[in-house]
Amino acid sequence: MTSLLRIPRLLAGLTVALGLPLIAGLPATAHAQADWPQKPVRIVVGFAPGGTTDITARIVAEQLSTALKQTFVVENKTGAGGNVAATEVARAAPDGYTFLMGTPGTQAINQFLFAKMPYDTAKDFQPVSFVVRIPNVLMVHPSVPARTIEELIALARSKPGALTYGSPGNGSTGQLSTELFKTQAKIFVTHIPYRGSAPMLQDLMAGQIQMSIDNLPSALPHIKSGKLRALGVTSPARSDQLPDVPTIASVLPGFSAESWFVLMAPAGTPRPIVDRLSAEVDRILKRKEIVERFKGLGADVVGGTPESLGRFIADETKKWQHVVKVSGAKVD
């Protein structure tokens, strides 16, 4: 009589002999990936609610929740120029349920700015989707007696160190853009870092600090309301949202410093999940109402493949490495 212990082995051998699929032997992850997502998905943001990174993440999360019929939750983990959030995602299980809304700081700048990094920028993340790119805007409190870029430079030169500028945090494009502006304009203004755009803008509107360079979507409502005065944009061309505001490059030739926001996964996240999420974000970004929604914020949608995003980040890394070196900016 055939031993009962041998029956599973005999059945397995028969299955192989007949060329039938080994259903029982299929990896459990394959089925899980096909049905992804089966539970809420986190998108971690390294800055406070109300800033551009947060706004971008919430628009994407809202659309993905509808498209994939599962909740996408935005979590704000502030600190260290986005490093706190990036570290959490870098160390998260690569199972498709934790992603990062990456910025130039987390994906390119911080590795050159901070003396010690808690994660490896190149090795610990997997590109998913390029969401939007955004110009920054140079602005001042209305009490500042400067209505042009040239007047601001003259004012700063007349009072070295007296003017203070705020940024969304150490390593943010706001800080690096201003440091580059300081270097090219040959001025000295004092840096006051914040944990995100929202608290920094509140102090700027209150006159606690005098100037800032920040993402256009965060600043635009306050500029339009007259609470802040825009002097220049950091993009090579003028913004459609502020057509009367000149480029900084028109005064400081060659000046360019845009922000961008990208969806990143922990390294090792299954490629089927990465591809599915990337394709879904790409479809969302091609919808006219989403294009117009971001355009109204001063942002341009991008989209594309994980590979194209990887190439872009590599190019930006080289650029910002040079900016950090030129500016001399460092964080201990």
Quick: pLDDT tens for 25-68.
445 455 556 689 999 999 999 998 988 899 999 999 999 999 99
Give residue 330's pLDDT.
Answer: 81
Among 288, 299, 281, residue whose Cα is nearest residue 64? 281
Residue (of 299, 324, 305, 263) closest to 108 by Cα position: 324
Residue 10 is predicted with a pLDDT of: 43
- CATH ID of 32-133+259-327, from 2.40.10.340, 3.40.50.10490, 2.40.50.140, 3.40.190.150: 3.40.190.150
CA distance 309 to 130: 6
Distance CA 240, CA 247 (A): 12
Q: Greatest CA separation found in the chain?
A: 101
What does the mean pLDDT of the chain come to? Answer: 89
322/122 Cα distance (integer angstroms): 17
CA distance 49 to 56: 11
For position 284, what pLDDT does the model report? Answer: 98
Backbone φ, ψ for residue 36 (5° rounding): -60, 140
pLDDT less than 50: residues of the chain: 1-26, 28
From residue 89, how far is each of 75, 268, 269, 301 by CA, in Å?
11, 12, 11, 24
CATH of 136-250, one of 3.30.70.20, 1.10.1040.10, 3.40.190.10, 3.40.50.720: 3.40.190.10
Question: How confident is the model at residue 186, as a pLDDT?
Answer: 95
The SS3 of residue 102 is strand
Contact (CB, 8 A) for 104 and 273: no
Cα Rg of the chain, angstroms: 24
At 229-281, the pLDDT tens digits run 999 999 989 998 999 999 999 999 989 888 899 999 999 999 999 999 999 99
**What per-residue confidence (pLDDT) applies to 33?**
62
Domain ranges of the chain: 32-133+259-327, 136-250
Q: Which residue has the tokens 């110009």?
A: 135
Alpha helices in 166-305 (DSSP H): 173-185, 197-205, 216-224, 271-285, 288-296
